[in-house]
Amino acid sequence: MINLRKGIFLTLISMIFLLKAKAQEEDLLKLVEEDKPQKEIVKNAFKATRIINTQSMEFLAPGTMDFTILHRFGQLDRGVNNLFGLDEASMRMAFDFGITKNLMIGVGRSTYKKELDAFFKYAPVRQSAGSSAFPVTIALASGLTLNTLPWQDPVRQNYFTSRMAFFSQVIIGRKFSEVLSLQLTPTMIHYNLVPTVDTSNDIYALGIGGRYKLAKRFSFNWDYSYVINSLDKNVYTNPLSVGIDIETGGHVFQLHFSNSTGMNERAFVTETSGHWDKTEVRFGFNLSRIFQIKKRKED
């Protein structure tokens, strides 16, 4: 009887020690998991969803709307009588919406060719740090434009679809440091109607762009597109824009110079006619204001 009690006692003591060891092991595992760096999406590679003309790798937060005004004055070579282009203006007004963390849509209206446009941008993979880090953001953007000018030849049979053009692009970008971000943007523009039978309906271009941070709220931005097969190489050239981003709280103010007049993808990729070496360059600005239109979910 005494041996039985002694055995039960020793068994209980052993179970207590085993449970205590198990708890300590779980605590140690928890500490290891807490010390392990968590996956974190890299943000603020650019301060806006466009570098200047080109879509950037950035996305709007879910439930927000970005109201943007893109404005270009006339060419600098117009001289003092035209106040170096300031007497003229071309603009695009747009409303962009953040749907999810990696999906946004937008609509816009341009004075250039009185075009309406719409697009979406989606990132299946975003640059991240920590656990399961990924080195770059890969985003897909696609959209359409609609020319609303009167028909050039109203007598002939004209089709509504002839007013439309489409763009598709891949955005591959990386924030290398708090100072430098770079991206590549292969792009295709498709025209439903082209000037001649010898003109390709598909125009291909390779865009590059970047941001170099100069100070806490200032950065130098640029974007350039090399157009591989132009509509007319005697008329059109490659678009190049350079400028400065200024962040002022809820606004992002971009001051820039560009040789393009149009400010949607179809227009600036395929119909840029200004030449930098001839000062056929326009001063302009982009103004972005973000509004919260849907209540944020609690984390």
Contact status, residue 220 vs residue 244, Cβ threshold 8 Å: yes
Bridge partners, residue 173, by sequence: 137, 183
Task: Give SS3 for 76.
Answer: helix
Bridge partners, residue 229, by sequence: none
Q: What is the mean pLDDT of the chain?
A: 85
Please give the share of the chain, as a percent, with pLDDT higher than 90.
55
Contact status, residue 70 vs residue 94, Cβ threshold 8 Å: yes
Strands 128-129, 137-147: pairing kind: unpaired
Could you tell me the CA-to-CA distances from 295 to 41, 62, 64, 104, 105 in Å, in that order? 22, 9, 9, 17, 19
pLDDT at 9: 45
pLDDT at 231: 82
Q: Does 32 have pLDDT greater than 50? A: no
pLDDT at 230: 85
Q: What is the mean pLDDT of residues 124-133?
A: 85
58-91 burial: b if 16+ Cβ within 10 Å, else e? bbbebbbbbebebbbbbbbebeeeeebbeeeebb
Is the pTM value of this prediction over 0.85? no
Task: Give SS3 for 219.
Answer: strand
Task: Give SS3 for 129.
Answer: strand
Quote the CA–CA distance of 195 and 295 in Å, as a whole number: 48
Greater pLDDT, 19 or 14 = 14
Quote the CA–CA distance of 174 and 129 in Å, as a whole number: 12
What CATH class does 40-292 carry?
mainly beta
Contact status, residue 218 vs residue 245, Cβ threshold 8 Å: yes
- Of the pLDDT bands very low, low, confident and very high (cuts 50, 70, 90), residue 27 is low
The residue length of the chain stands at 299
pLDDT at 30: 54
Q: Does 151 have pLDDT greater than 80? A: yes
pLDDT, one tens digit per residue, over 54-105 is: 999 999 999 999 999 999 998 888 777 777 778 788 999 999 999 999 999 9
- Of the pLDDT bands very low, low, confident and very high (cuts 50, 70, 90), residue 21 is very low
Quote the CA–CA distance of 246 and 267 in Å, as a whole number: 25
H/E segment holding residue 134: none
Of the listed ranges 17-31, 198-212, 241-255, the least confidently predicted one is 17-31
Greater pLDDT, 21 or 209 = 209
Of the listed ranges 72-81, 144-153, 200-209, the least confidently predicted one is 72-81
H/E segment holding residue 113: none
pLDDT at 83: 79
Domain boundaries, the chain: 1-36, 40-292
